[in-house]
């Protein structure tokens, strides 16, 4: 007997036929006493369609009402999937995020899961049901639905698996595992058999679309093994776990990630006095704008003024603009320039620790390609560079093929 949480994304449930495909597959592999919880996203392009609809009505497509609107997509897919299981003869019940006990913060549009109380799920499982849970949503302490932001359904699945002490959380996706880089960029990309939470977290944070960082972090915190695998084939995918098993080779560099959902914000000629940076980034944090890379440069010719450059998600550009406009009433700056044609390319690998030459190698490769670096940032197991978006594929291919394949082929 195993307790398994399975998550299917929007493209896997886009049509009734695809829903039945999943139902058949789940029933085929389910052992008699297995307990199965399935987390699903909204069907196909539903979420995008709802966003487009909202934009016809409001110039502020976020907040409480937006979350109410978006959360309907998953309610449709869980109801249909529960009906499909019942139609195939297996009892099933659907639960919204709130019904599944997913409690979230009230940061609408990017709620964070604060707690999961899965009692109702356990009860339904004990009654013999397969339980279908709406991903991407939780309930605040005032009873409102919040959506959990990008990749929220992955986070829901891993959080449930953690709270329920599931044996494994399977993330079904349209790729068949985690690759050393995007296989569409270079045909030399390799599927990884295993990857650590830490490495996956960096890969995800830096743009590898296959898993969201928050979900990986949640898996790490609760020690839930995550199996990233294909909806369309039955091949094993990539296991994300705490440590490599002995048989797995660890490489210096696990993979190359890129992220084009990046906007560069330059605050030019900001008054240079103590506390200014704190004021600016606190205001952005209060507006729930996530800031990524930050550079502050002191002008050599004018030490009264400084330039502050940082990156944010393109989704947050409107919010950031509004926040900065308000801020300019109290903080003096010459101008704000927002640039949406940037991208970030990163290398990740726990094996980079203690190998100081890797950063230099990466910069050298980019230089050979004639690619300019705007910002560089590093963590213990990653190095990221902000470059022009139109060069990102060249950058990924060059770095991957020259660095990642060391000692593998």
Sort strands 145-147 and 137-139 into parallel, antiparallel or unpaired: antiparallel
The structure tokens 């947050």 sit at: 316
CB of 41 to its own copies, least distance (A): 15
- The region of 14-22, 202-210, 328-336, 362-370 touching its own copies under the rule CB under 8 A is 14-22
* Alpha-carbon distance values, 309 to 295, 297, 339, 373 (Å): 5, 8, 11, 13
Alpha-carbon dihedral angle through residues 317, 319, 320, 321, given to the nearest 10 degrees: 80
Q: Does 297 bind its own copies (CB under 8 A)?
A: no
Select from 65-73, 154-162, 213-221, 273-281 the region that touches its own copies (CB under 8 A): 65-73
Q: Is 203 in the site for its own copies (CB under 8 A)?
A: no
How does DSSP classify residue 135? S
Nearest to 171 by CA among 228, 238, 231: 228
Walk across the sheet containing 145-147 and list its strands.
113-116, 102-104, 137-139, 145-147
User: Which window, 59-67, 155-163, 316-324, 364-372, contacts its own copies (CB under 8 A)?
Assistant: 59-67
Distance CA 7, CA 42 (A): 12
d(C-alpha 202, C-alpha 224), whole Å: 18
Residue selected from 72, 272, 279, 377 as contacting its own copies according to rule CB under 8 A: 72
**87 binding its own copies? (CB under 8 A):** yes
56 binds its own copies (CB under 8 A): yes
Among 11, 86, 105, 288, binds its own copies (CB under 8 A): 86
**302 touching its own copies, by CB under 8 A:** no
CA–CA distance, 286 with 214 (Å, rounded to integer):
20
Q: Of 22, 84, 216, 293, which one interacts with its own copies (CB under 8 A)?
A: 84
Closest CB to its own copies among residues 39, 403: 39
The interface region with its own copies, picked from 54-62, 190-198, 301-309, 378-386 by CB under 8 A, is 54-62
Site residues for its own copies per CB under 8 A: 16, 19-20, 50, 53-54, 56-61, 64-66, 68-69, 71-72, 75-76, 78-80, 82-84, 86-87, 93-94, 96, 99, 143-144
């Amino acid at each position: 007997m195993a307790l398994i949480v399975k998550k299917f994304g929007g493209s896997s449930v886009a049509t009734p036929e695809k829903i039945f495909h999943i139902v058949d597959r789940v029933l085929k592999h389910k052992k008699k006493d297995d307990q199965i919880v399935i987390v699903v996203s909204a069907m196909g392009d539903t979420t995008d369609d709802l966003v487009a609809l909202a934009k016809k009505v409001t110039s502020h497509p976020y907040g409480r009402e937006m979350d109410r609107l978006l959360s309907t997509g998953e309610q449709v897919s869980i109801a249909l999937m529960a009906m499909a299981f019942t139609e195939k003869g297996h009892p099933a019940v659907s639960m919204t995020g709130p019904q599944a006990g997913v409690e979230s913060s009230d940061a609408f549009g990017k709620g964070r899961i604060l707690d999961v109380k899965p009692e109702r799920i356990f009860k339904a499982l004990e009654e013999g049901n397969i339980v279908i849970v709406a991903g991407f949503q939780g309930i605040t302490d005032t009873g409102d639905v919040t959506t959990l932001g990008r990749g929220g359904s992955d986070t829901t699945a891993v959080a449930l698996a953690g709270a329920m002490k599931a044996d494994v959380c399977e993330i079904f996706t349209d790729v068949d595992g985690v690759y050393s880089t995007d296989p569409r960029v270079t045909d030399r990309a390799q599927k990884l058999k295993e990857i650590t939470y830490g490495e996956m977290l960096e890969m995800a944070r830096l743009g590898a679309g296959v898993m969201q960082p928050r979900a990986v972090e949640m898996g790490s915190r609760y020690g839930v093994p995550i199996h990233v695998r294909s909806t369309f084939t039955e091949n094993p995918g990539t296991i994300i776990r705490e440590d490599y098993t002995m048989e797995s080779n660890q490489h210096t560099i696990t993979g190359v990630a890129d992220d084009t959902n990046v906007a560069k914000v330059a605050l030019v000629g900001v008054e240079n006095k103590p506390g200014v940076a704190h004021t600016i980034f606190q205001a952005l944090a209060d507006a729930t704008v996530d800031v990524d890379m930050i550079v502050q440069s002191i002008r050599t010719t004018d030490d009264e003024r400084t330039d502050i450059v940082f990156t944010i998600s393109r989704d947050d550009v409107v919010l950031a603009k509004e926040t900065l406009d308000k801020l300019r009433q109290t903080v003096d700056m010459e101008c704000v320039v927002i640039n949406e044609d940037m991208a970030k390319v990163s290398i990740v690998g726990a094996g980079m620790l203690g190998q100081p030459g890797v950063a230099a190698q990466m910069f050298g490769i980019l230089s050979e390609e004639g690619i300019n670096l705007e910002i560089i940032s590093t963590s213990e197991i990653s190095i990221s560079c902000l470059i022009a978006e139109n060069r990102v594929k060249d950058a990924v291919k060059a770095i991957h093929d020259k660095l990642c394949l060391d000692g593998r082929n």
